[in-house]
Amino acid sequence: MTSEPKITLFDFPSPVCKPKAWNPNTWKARLVLNYKQIPYKTVWLSYLDVEQTLIKAGGEGKATSTREDDPSKPLYTLPALLDESGPQPVVVIDSLKIAEYLDEKFPERPVIPKKGRAFEYMFEQFFVATVGALIPFPILPFAHDIMDEKSKPYFKRTREARLGKKMEDFSPEGPVRDAQWKDLEKGFDKLAAVLDKNGPDVDFVAGGPEPTRADFIVASYLIWIRSVAPEEWKKRGVDQWANGRWARLLKRTEEWQAVDE
Ligand SMILES: N[C@@H](CCC(=O)N[C@@H](CS)C(=O)NCC(=O)O)C(=O)O
């Protein structure tokens, strides 16, 4: 008889996507758990239930950011992890903190290696500046459409406030959307140009045979885009971008993309 896993990952479900995990931030944690072969279960939450669930689990005071509409209030975000293996439950919020916690607790198959650690930390900022910043306008409307019904009005309102536009105007079909996707391709090309410095046939950012968290960051955003906007993914030929580098990364990380649904 196998016992219930002691580790829980909190994630956002999609009633439409297969698998139902779609969010890039939570994928960053899921890929790490899967890669490290740590038994865990998923608890699926609506955006509206994140705060009360994490507080109830023992995460009060651990929010890592503040609400945009009221910076005096904490903003509880996913991914979050609950570890009930010890005498006291431990709640960890934030994908980087989760990776650090898991590497500490399960040192095998580290995702933030001891060597080149500074570069590993720098990579996320480079990724956000080069690629991440170009994603919200073309992708958020698709993300909105595939998420659970209860989350939709909250997501729409908060993302419209963040980006200063009605969601209908984020990515109107035609020249505006076409230009956004071209820019996104160029951003990914800039990333590919840097990764090419590792030499031909090297798929992973740190240059070794095993992935690190940096690869899981890139893979998480690719999984996000492909799962919420599959038609656009095909139409824009993302599989062919950067000589197939991104399609290759998705293939190479496929074994860690399992979702317990
Ligand atoms: N730096 C955090 C970012 C997490 C994050 O922003 N999560 C979003 C997912 S879209 C969230 O949970 N937002 C809650 C909300 O908007 O209320 C991480 O890497 O975990």
CATH code: domain of residue 73: 3.40.30.10
Residues 86, 124, single domain; the answer is no
Structural domain includes residue 110: no
Residues 122, 246, single domain; the answer is yes
Residues 122, 239, single domain; the answer is yes
What's the pLDDT tens digit per position in 162-182?
999 999 999 999 999 999 999
Looking at the chain, the whole-number percentage of residues with pLDDT higher than 70 is 99
Instruction: Give 171 Cα–ligand 1 centroid separation in angstroms.
Output: 22
- Which atom from ligand 1 is nearest to the alpha carbon of 78? 12
Answer whether residue 114 shows pLDDT above 70: yes
Amino acid identity, position 166: K
Residues 84, 134, single domain; the answer is no
Q: What angle in degrees, to the nearest 10, is found between the helix axes of 117-130 and 175-195? A: 160
Instruction: Indicate the number of domains in the chain.
Output: 2
Which of 102-115 are b and which e, b meaning 16 or more Cβ less than 10 Å from the residue's Cβ? bbeeeeeebbbeee
What's the pLDDT tens digit per position in 30-56?
999 999 999 999 999 999 999 999 999
Q: How many CB atoms lie within 10 A of CB 191?
A: 19
pLDDT at 2: 67
Residues 142, 243, single domain; the answer is yes
Residues 26, 143, single domain; the answer is no
Measured by CA distance, the residue closest to atom 2 of ligand 1 is 94
Beta bridge partners of 205: none
Task: Identify which of 180, 184, 198, 191 has the alpha carbon closest to the alpha carbon of residue 126.
Answer: 191
DSSP string, 122-143: HHHHHHHHHTGGGSHHHHHHHH
Measured by CA distance, the residue closest to atom 15 of ligand 1 is 77
Amino acid identity, position 67: R
What's the pLDDT tens digit per position in 198-230?
998 899 999 999 999 999 999 999 999 999 999
Rounded to whole angstroms, the Cα distance separating 86 from 82 reads 11
- Which atom from ligand 1 is nearest to the alpha carbon of 47? 17
Domain final residue, candidates 74, 105, 136: 105
Pocket residues: Cβ below 6 A from ligand 1: 23, 25, 47, 50, 75, 77-79, 94-96, 158
Note down the domain range covering 89.
7-105
Residues 95, 48, single domain; the answer is yes
